[in-house]
Amino acid sequence: MHFKNKEIQLQYQGFCETKSLWINTLHKNIQNTDYQCNYVSLFKVKNQLQLRLGKLVEQFVFHQISENENIEILIENLQIQDGKLTIGELDCILLDNGKPTHLEIIYKFYLYDATVGNEEIEHWVGPNRRDSFDLKYNKLIHKQLPLLHHEKTKKVLKEYNLDVNDIEQKVYFKAQLFPHLKERNTVFPLINNECIEGFYIYEKELKEFKTAKFFIPTKLNWLVKPHTHVDWLNFEDFKGRLHTFLQKENSPLCWLKQTNGELHKFFVVWW
């Protein structure tokens, strides 16, 4: 298998192994669903151009769904326009056992910072603190899901012989979660704790891992489970590369290989 294809397969496997962010219903209008994922099957990228992480995840989901004989994808990435203005996009319309369903696809990386907000949903923030679980959740409730019932959407869906009143709505929300190193054994009541994939630290805490080896994967490879077949960096070389990220106020996801062979995912945060 060509290296790039092998890399994509590892990304697809990492996606498949990621758990749903929550199990029980958080809001009466949001049903988080999951689909059986067989990452042994070969995934082929439809578009060979460089994809952003979110778009690659969408392709993974469409591939995953296409392998289910009870599901048929009707529309992918349906843009809703008002004249020349795009007012939103529906990720996917599918038939699930004959039932038309609007599916919104989300894949996130969140870190737990209790200094942000007043409750747990607000404490889960993006690695650079520019987004959060709370912000995304409210966007789903107040913008993305209501878009289905917009007059412009109704008009477009009529062209597909679909009535919005017959369409069920679901979200497919997966996430990798990273509490601080000192909180990694904490049980969090709101989220699915099986989403915890590692931890985060501040730059000053790096000295705890002086004897370890390190690797900084590309953004698409944030999906991948750590493995040994990479060019590991020693502590000093890693600090040099890390500094470039932190100076630009970027918190990189990194891999850690300890002297006993244990592998970990972790973020080093600039804040």
In the chain, where are the structural domains located?
Answer: 3-195, 199-269
Quickly list DSSP for 169-232. EEEEEEEEEE-BGGGTTPPPSSS-GGGB-EEEEEGGGGGGGTT-EEE---SGGGGSPP-S-S--
| Per-position b or e across 47-73, b if 16+ CB within 10 A of its CB | eeeebebeebbbbbbbbbbeeeeebee
pLDDT at 1: 43
Strand-by-strand arrangement of the 213-215 sheet: 198-202, 263-269, 253-257, 213-215
pLDDT at 109: 98
- 160 token code pair: 């597909």
The distance of Cα 58 from the centroid of its chain, to the nearest Å, equals 10
Q: What is the mean pLDDT of each run of 10 residues along the chain (271 residues)?
A: 76 94 73 71 61 92 91 97 95 96 97 96 97 96 96 97 96 97 95 97 97 97 97 98 97 98 98 97
Query: Helix, strand or coil for residue 147?
Result: helix
Residue 187 vs residues 107, 177, 179, 182, 196: alpha-carbon distances, Å:
21, 12, 10, 13, 10
Q: Which of 187, 190, 209 is nearest to 200 (CA)?
A: 209
As a whole number of angstroms, the distance between CA 252 and CA 12 comes to 20
